[in-house]
Every structure is written in structure tokens, then in C-alpha cells.
Amino acid sequence: MIEQQKSTFDKYVLQDVRSPTFGLSSSEANVVSLIHGSQKRPQFSIFLPLISMASCAATFKELPLDQIEQDPDQPRKDFGVQGADDRLMVSLKEIGIQQPLGVVQTENDRYILIDGHRRHIAARELGMKTAPCRVYSKLQKGELERIRFEIQNNRREWKPLERSEALSRIKEQKGFKTNKELATCLGLSTTLIHFSLELRKQTMEYLGLMEKYDLPDTYRIEFIRLKKHMRRIKDLEISDITIILFEKVKSGVISKAKAFRQLRKIFLRAHLNENEIYDFLKDPDMTVDDLEARTVQSGPSLLVEKLMLELGKMFQEGSDVSEKDASTYEQLRDFLLSKFPLPKNA
């Protein structure tokens, strides 16, 4: 196996070394071709870190695997290598490592892995002693974080917590003050950046629940928005409500992330809709659409509700009421009493 691995690497390196794209993956080769003017420049910013990476001084070496360390700061923890039947494991057994690992030299004979974690794990499990590597000179911490994120982002879909941790490190190491700076650097939306970083602020209880129920990204984002407005409903605490909602997602009663948006609006009026919300939470088959139909308000009632909130805030702050405003409020009171008279025994 080792001889086969060595001959594979020799053949790999003896390609036309004059070509600026030799030894690179297809995505990296496309980027280097852009540098040399053979393709139009893409509009996707995910290529930008690879341009930076391709322009770094790199050498190709066959390195002993025991000199290569898994990156302790790597946010991704699940690399999808699942034993002897894993497709990558089978491929390595048959033809060896065809694409070099990406490593950064930290000291003499010591390297940190930045690309190829699955290949590295599989090679060690198969008992390989060496692997072909693309070796980069030492990178600044912020640049290393950014390159690591982009490489991993193009390999396998991030788990939400892993991505959140990666983005937080990039923001810190690059010294970005705002989420917009980070979004511009990575070519991601500011909204995605914001809620990915917000995820790290959630308590371990809620993070654990999201993982347990394998909540998709879009659901997690909308739940974070909803959670800010959730409150106790009768005997149900927020933690109880969270589990009930996640169970509804699991069973398919909640089948779209936008349902959490609907719930957010309903919880904003929880003081008026407490009975309806409670029924929704106690009935595992009741949908958010059913709840919305029971809590829908007409235009005038929404205006009255808004007025009540504004007046309550004003009185709580001790603000003075002008004579004109007081007269208007008295007219409203008299009108409502004429339409909804109080019971005689009230």
C-alpha cells in the first residue's frame, strides 16, 4: 500500500509543474486560472480566500502522518468517517490519496492540518504512514481562520453550532467590529451572520435541544427570533413550550420555519391570546394556522390594543396627560361603555 501511495504521489508531482494549477483541487485550479487570466472572474466571494491561499508559498511533500496534527481550533467536529464501509475508506484502500492534504508548518517537522481532515483520519485508520501534502508557510491567525472556514464550507454542510463557532473566531481574529464587515469578507448575508453568532449566546439547555431534535438552520434562526418574545403560558414554562414546539416540528405538525414567525406575532399578544395559545400547546395536532385563525384580530381591535399599550407605558413612566388628550380618552370610554355596558352587578 505504501509503495502504491508513493508511486501515486510521484506521478502526481511529475505532472506539468510549469502549470500554475498542478496539484490543486478543481475549485482551487479554477481560481488560479482566474489569476492567470484564462477564465472570467466569478462573482462568488467564496473563491477569494482560495485566491489568497493559492498565492501563498506552497511546496509539495510526502509527510509522515505522525507529524501532522488535527487542528485543535477546528470548529467542525463531525467529519463523516464511519468505519471500513465508508466510501472514502474504500477509495483510499483501492487507489490511495489522490488529493493532497493541506497543512501549515508550525515548526520543524510539525504541521497543522487545514484541509483534508477526513482523508487524514481515514489514512490513519488504514495504517498508512505517509500522505502527500501541500505545505504552506505560516499564516496569520485571522487568515488561517478565514481559509479554514471557506475550505470546510465547500466540503460538507456545516452543523449550525460548528459554523457559529467558526464565524466567531474569524470575527475575533480578523478584528472585525461589525457583522457587516464579517459578512463582506465571507460573501455571506448579514442576517445569516447575525443569527449564526446569536446561536452561541443561547443557553446550553436550548442548544442541546436544537441538536437533539436536529433542527434545520432556518428553524433555528426563526426560533431564536421567537424565543425573545416567548413567555410562560399558564402552567407551561418557556422550556416546556420549547419542547412542545420542537415535538411539533418532529411530527410534521410544524412543517415550515415561517410558522415560528407566525408564532412570534401571536406571542406579542400573549396577554390577549393566552387561552388560545395554551390550547395550541396542549393539543399535539393543532397547527399554527389553526391557532392564527383563532387569534386573528380586526383592524380596530389592533388599534385599540396598540393604544392600550401606549397608555400603559405612558402612565408607568408618569407622563402627564394634556387636557385635550384626556377629553379624547373620556369620549372613547363613553363610546365603549355605550356599546359594551358593564354588568349591573359589576
Residue listed under C-alpha cell 505532472: 15
pLDDT for the residue 203: 63
Residues 68-83: tens digit of each pLDDT: 998 776 655 555 545 5
Amino acid at 248: K
Q: What angle do CA 303, 307, 311 make, to 5 degrees?
A: 175
Residue-wise pLDDT for 252-307, tens only, equals 999 999 999 999 999 988 888 899 999 999 999 999 999 988 887 656 766 777 78
Angle between helices 217-227 and 204-212 (to 10 degrees): 150
- Check residue 242 and give its pLDDT: 93
CA distance to 70, 129, 157, 270, 327, per residue, from 83 (Å): 18, 19, 20, 50, 79
d(CA 346, CA 334): 17
Grid coordinates belonging to 101: 492534504
Over the chain (346 residues), what is each successive 10-residue block's mean pLDDT? 45 37 42 36 35 55 90 61 65 84 85 86 90 81 70 63 80 88 85 81 75 86 88 91 94 94 91 90 94 77 75 83 87 86 74
pLDDT for res 75: 58
* Grid coordinates given for 53: 491561499
Kindly report whether the global pTM for this prediction surpasses the value 0.85: no
Structurally, at CATH architecture level, domain 2-141 sits in Alpha-Beta Complex (3.90)
Q: CA 32, CA 30: separation in Å to the nearest integer?
A: 6
Structure confidence at residue 2 (pLDDT): 44
Kind of pairing between the strands at 110-115 and 130-136? unpaired
For the chain, the structural domain boundaries read 2-141, 204-295, 299-339
